[in-house]
Each structure stands twice: as C-alpha cells, then as structure tokens.
Structure 1
Amino acid sequence: MKFTMERDAALRALTLATRTIERRNTVPILGHVLITAHKSRVSLAATNMDRWMTIEIGGASTLKTGTTTADAANMLAFVRATAAGTQIEVELTGEKLVMRAGRARATLLTLPAADFPAMKPEEVSTEILVAGDALARAIGQVAHAQSDEQTRYYLNGIFIHDRAGKLGLVATDGHRLGLAIVEPSKPLPENLPGIILPRQSVPELLRIATEAKQDELTLEISETRLQVAHTDVEFSTRLVDGTFPDYDRVIPRDNECRFNAGRVALAGAVARCATLASDGTSAVRMQIHKASAELSRKVEGEGEISDEIDIQVNGQPSFTGFNCSYMTAALDALACPDVDVEFTTGGPIVLRRSTDPKDGELQIVMAMRVV
C-alpha cells in the first residue's frame, strides 16, 4: 500500500476519526484507524464499538492499493506537526507504516486489518429526509437539556420521534426540558419508531448537519442503529436501548402567570443575579409585578443582588424561583427577540418564542424554592 495525501485534508480526517475513538481502551485495535487505499480514493475508518465513522481523505492519490491499521493518535500527532500545505507520503513496508513529510519521517507499528472490527450489517427499516441546517438548529436547541445520570440512562441523549407529522427532538434531565420541531423534507414514514440518540453521538450528528447546511440528509434507522452520510463522511451510532418518558405530561397548561419579555433583557438580568452564586445552588427569585419582573438573589453571609426589567403581563402577578444556569441555557436556545413566559407558582416555567404556537417549540425550567 502506498499513497500521498495533503496535510490539511489528512489533519481533518484524522481529527474526525480520533473523536470516535475512546481515549482509554484496553483493546489495542480500537485505538487504531483502518486505512484503505482504493484505486481512486483513500479512506479512514474508526470505531469504539458503539460508534463507527468512515472518512475519505480529500485529494489523496493512490500509488498502490492496500489496507492496514495504525495508531490514530500517533498519526494525528505527526500530521499536526507538519506545515500546512505539505504533501505526506504513506507506505506500508512489511508490518510498519512509514510516513514521510519532506525530510521528516515516522515509522509506526501496525496491526492486521483483519482484526479491525467490522460493523454488523442491519436492514434499514426507516428513512428520514431532513435539511441539514434545520436538523442542526433543532439539535442546538435541546442538547443542553440532556442528562448525564447513569441510573436513568434513557435520558442520556435526544429523543427523535414523530410529533404530529413533524420531526420532534426532545431532551430532559428532569430539571429542564427542550423541545424542537423540524419540518421533514418529505412526509415521515408511518409508524416511525421513536429513537434515543446517545449523548456521546450528538456532537457528531450536529457537526455533520451543520456542515451539510441546506443539503438534505438521509437518516437511516435500523433496529439498533442510526446512520447518516454527507459528502466524505459516513457515521453510524448505536441507539440507546430504552423507553423515553411521556414528556407531554410535564408540560403545564393554563398557567396563572403569563408575560412577554425581551429575551436579551431577561437573560441579562439573570446573568447579573448569577454573579452572586457562591453557595452552589444558583437559585434566583423572580417576582412578577403589574408591568415589571424583579429578579433577586440572596446569599447568607455575602449579600444580595437584584435587577428589574419591563415586561407585558397577561396573567396574574406571581413569583417563582429557578436555577440561573438552566434559565440562561433555555433563553440562549430560543435565540429570538421576545419570549413568552408562563408558570403557576411552584410549577414548571415554560418559555416560548413569541412567534411560536402553543403546541410548538418550547423550553421548560423546573421551579426552585426560594426565599
């Protein structure tokens, strides 16, 4: 096997590959990439047995076909250390992989390509067609609410499902919830199974969707996996084997207190109250008056801080409390000029864009007891 590759293209491919590989593993082959020099292209494959990725190295030129494996971290370190624009020659000599860049040379030990774990084929049962930028936007809105609690593993990811004929994405950790909705490029299949995309795979799907921009992506769903491909990257991930809870039950209706506020103004007031947060609870009290919202925070032994913003109240004046970091993330996810906020004292706080329908996208922050 022998081929040449351009440094920047190789750097991108190896960086993507190493993101799939676990940093610590006890199986040496799982720290390697599978390198395949085809007649017309060169590709890398990486896996941690839960996620698989194949990347084509753009602009690589094959001189002799073949396949082998090499340590991904060592390859990446050598490529990263070379100058931009450098041509790198890679050649398999016996059981060693030789990389040359100018007068620099690295010789890496290899493992048999036959030892590299192959992804077991599964029949695709469902396909979803969606624009990349729409999917990226939705993932960005809900990713902050994912759980990392091991006992409720089914919350460690994003629930993707059919919501009234549109693609719904939901994440929650029990303290907050994000719901985003995507219009699919073609009608969703009947009896679309709800799937839970694992937390570890969310950044990669988000990256692929972001790079796709307005291109359409096909999400292929099989019994245990989700697969997606775009240009030079193919990505597959094992799904969470569990049942996502009925999140509709925690969305409160008919809240007593409702108001409209400028998102930036409200986020700014929350951020100022968060500056006094050394007790670890980050609890902020929000008192709703006839035409304003007063946010305040007290920390025993340190002092207190407060701020007030103008709002338009549509319901009963009331008060509530919330975790300021959760509220900040929810407001950031909405990314709009004005937000509608509603709650009943002691109940969850619901935030929506002012332009969104009541059954559309939302953020929920659970209430906290405050003094």
Structure 2
Amino acid sequence: MELSFNREAMTDALQRIVGAAEKRLTMPILGNVRVRPGETGGMRLETTDLELAWSARTEGTIPAECDTTVSVRKLLDVVKAAPADSDIRAEVDGERMSVGFGGSRFSLATLPGEDFPDWEAGAIGATVVVPQNRLRRLLEATMFSMAQQDVRYYLQGLLLVATGHTLRAVATDGHRLALSEIELDSPVEGRIERIVPRKAVAELRRNLSDDDQAVQIGFAEDQIVFELGPAVLRSKVIEGRFPDYERVIPTDLPATLVVEREVLKQALTRVGIVASDKYRGVRMILGPEGCQVLTHNADREEAQETVEASYDGPEMEIGFNLGYLLDVLNVIETDSVRIGLRDGNSSILVQAEPPGGSRYVVMPMRL
C-alpha cells in the first residue's frame, strides 16, 4: 500500500497531535499514530494516551484499505528531516512502513490499526464558540495555579464554567487561586461546569493560535471536546466537586496597594537571590512611605528592597511565597497592579489596575 503526502502539511499535523502519545509506553501502540483515510478525503491521524485523544486531517493520498500505526515521534522526525516543501512517499508492507524522499529511506515498525484503542465519543450537550486568541489568554491567565501532585485530584485541573455570556476559568492548588473570564458572543443556557485535566489544558494551550480563528468547545457528560479547524482534541474530565471558589475570594478589603507591575516584579526577583530555596518566603512591610520587601535565609543572608507605591491603609506586615506573587505579575498585562489587603494573616486579592476580567488570591505565609 503506497501513501504520499507533503512535508509541511504532515509536519504541522503531527506536531499538533504528538503530545497525546504515551511516553511511558505502558502499551506500545499508545506511542503510535494511527494513519487511515479521512471521512471526506485525505488522511486521518490519531493519537491517544487513553485520557485524551487528538485527531487531525491532512492532505495526502492513501488507499481505502490502509489502516496502520507507526511511532509518531519517529515519523515526525523523519518527515521534518526531509527537504522543505518536498513530497514524501511511504509504503506499508506487513509490519513495516518504508518512508523515502530523495536518496533517503527509512523502515519503521508498524502495528495494526484495528488494535489502536477506539475513543468512545460522548454525546455533546452544549457548545460554545470563542476566538482562539481569547481562549489562549484565558488559559494563560489561570493555568499556572493548578495543583501538580495533590491527593485532591480535582485540583489537578482547570475548572471551566460557561453561563450566560461568560466563559470562566478557575484554578487553585490550595495556596493560591486564579480566576479569569471572557465574554461569549452567544449566550449559554443554564450553567455548565467541567474540570479539564492538566495535560489537556497544556495540549490545548500549545495548539491555540494567537489570532481570532474560532475554536468550538463541546461539553459532554464525561468529556470535553475542542475543535480547532482540522484538529480535534478530546479529553476525559475530572470527576469531583471543585471547591466553592467564590467564597475564597476576599471582599471588603480596607487596605489597598497600587504599584507599578514591573517595578514590583523586579524587586521581588532581586530579593529572591537570597530567599530560602525551600520556602521562598518574602515579607512586605506597608506604610505611609509605600512598600518594603525583605527576605532572609538559613545562612542569615538578607535582602531588602524599597518599592515606590501608593498605599492606603494601616501599617501592616505580611509574608508570601515569592513564586506565587511572581506568577501573578507575569500574567497581568497592565502597567500597574492593585493589591487589596485586610491584615497580616488574611489572603490578598491581586488585580490589574484598572481591574479587568482576572482576579488572583494569594494566601499569606508565616515567616
């Protein structure tokens, strides 16, 4: 069986879907891409790790009876090695796929396509459509707050909430919380909530473009589907009850600190040179003169920065994890930030100045 395809088209398709292939190879076929004819012509490529799955359409000629799998990473490396804009020919014969261009030939092992795990598609109950750049910004504004290795498995994902004209993303690891929302062009009936796993969030973010091309989000009972033109990402959702995040967001904060974002970011970065590698703690002293940032470590090394800022409230001292504050400052895009405080033992609320569609809660730290 002979196949042919263009280098650029195949490279783009494989790069989109390679992230779903299983790296630990608990089942060898999970490291492969399934190659078979598309429903409307061309070629259909599929990868999965059983938790999420990519499918992509690409141009090419393929026999109707062809259904095989081959290592997605090896095939991608071979295709990328071909000369620019070249046409590549492949031949499937038994348990081998021969790929060639110019004077180069590669023989790759294959496994039958019928052995590739089928992804059972759930019934889509509701859909929303958003521009890719808007969804990308929503993910970037929140995904850093997802838990990484927490026994509370529902924290190892991103909560998506669609209601009315709003799509909201929420992430928390129990020490900080990030919430951001964007406007939908068409309203959603009722309220839809799904917790999207960390890997699916990362895969989606990696494949979103920075333009206004549409992405359609489909909500099934136990799955979520993202359609990005010729590529479709399906993911299981995390079952469980996400924390009541609205109760965590502090309100009626009597003290307010307004500071230039880059100035505070650079100050935190500098004091971080001597901050404890384990705790990464810093103290902020707030008063009429503005803000001081201090830290020390077990070797009794110290660092201190005076930050010019506008502070309205009582004198206060509060400690934080340095990395948590920097993560927030890295995603806020305005020149200034507004920090609302209650006292030295309560969580703070960080927002852009002027406030926009994102809010960030950071718990204090005892130092």
Q: TM-score, normalised by structure 2?
A: 0.94
1:346 CA drift (Å): 0.9
Please give the per-residue CA displacement for 1:190-244, whole angstroms capped at 9, x wherever unaligned. Answer: 1x22110100111222234335x21222100101111111222111111011110
Determine the structure 2 residue equivalent to 1:245: 243
1:284 CA drift (Å): 0.5
Please give the per-residue CA displacement for 1:142-195, whole angstroms capped at 9, x wherever unaligned. Answer: 0110001241100001111146751111000011111101101211221x2211
Q: Residue 100 and residue 37 in structure 1: after superposition, are their counterparts in 2 closer, same or farther (change >3 A)?
A: farther
Determine the structure 1 residue equivalent to 2:209: 210
Determine the structure 2 residue equivalent to 1:64: 63
1:74 CA drift (Å): 2.3
| Aligned Cα root-mean-square deviation (Å) | 1.8
Instruction: State the aligned residue count.
Output: 364
SS state of the match for residue 296, structure 2? strand
1:336 to 322, 334, 337: 334
1:23 paired to 2:29: no
Moved more, 148-157 or 299-308: 299-308
Within 2, Cα distance between the matches of 1:95 and 1:22? 21
1:366 paired to 2:363: yes
SS state of the match for residue 70, structure 1? strand
Within 2, Cα distance between the matches of 1:5 and 1:302? 63
2:228 to 223, 230, 247: 230
Runs of 4+ in structure 1 off by over 3 angstroms are 37-40, 162-165
Q: Residue 163 and residue 286 in structure 1: after superposition, are their counterparts in 2 closer, same or farther (change >3 A)?
A: farther
CA contact (8 A) 1:127 1:189 kept: no
CA contact (8 A) 1:2 1:37 kept: no
Q: Residue 85 and residue 345 in structure 1: after superposition, are their counterparts in 2 closer, same or farther (change >3 A)?
A: same
Within 2, Cα distance between the matches of 1:345 and 1:177? 18
Structure 1 residues without counterparts, runs of 5 or longer: none
Within 2, Cα distance between the matches of 1:300 and 1:110? 56
Q: Residue 352 and residue 164 in structure 1: after superposition, are their counterparts in 2 closer, same or farther (change >3 A)?
A: farther
1:115 CA drift (Å): 1.1
Within 2, Cα distance between the matches of 1:18 and 1:129? 25
Q: Residue 11 and residue 56 in structure 1: after superposition, are their counterparts in 2 closer, same or farther (change >3 A)?
A: same
Within 1, Cα distance between the matches of 2:83 and 2:237? 39
Structure 2 residues without counterparts, runs of 5 or longer: none
Moved more, 332-341 or 308-317: 308-317
Determine the structure 1 residue equivalent to 2:193: 194
Within 2, Cα distance between the matches of 1:290 and 1:163? 43
CA contact (8 A) 2:34 2:47 kept: yes
Given residue 348 of structure 1, which amino acid in structure 2 is its aligned partner?
S
Q: TM-score, normalised by structure 1?
A: 0.93
1:325 CA drift (Å): 0.8
Aligned-pair identity (%):
27
Greater share of strand: 2
Please give the per-residue CA displacement for 1:249-289, whole angstroms capped at 9, x wherever unaligned. Answer: 21112223211111111111111111112442111010011
Given residue 43 of structure 2, which amino acid in structure 1 is its aligned partner?
V
Within 1, Cα distance between the matches of 2:73 and 2:105? 16
Determine the structure 2 residue equivalent to 1:274: 272
Given residue 112 of structure 2, which amino acid in structure 1 is its aligned partner?
P
SS state of the match for residue 61, structure 2? strand
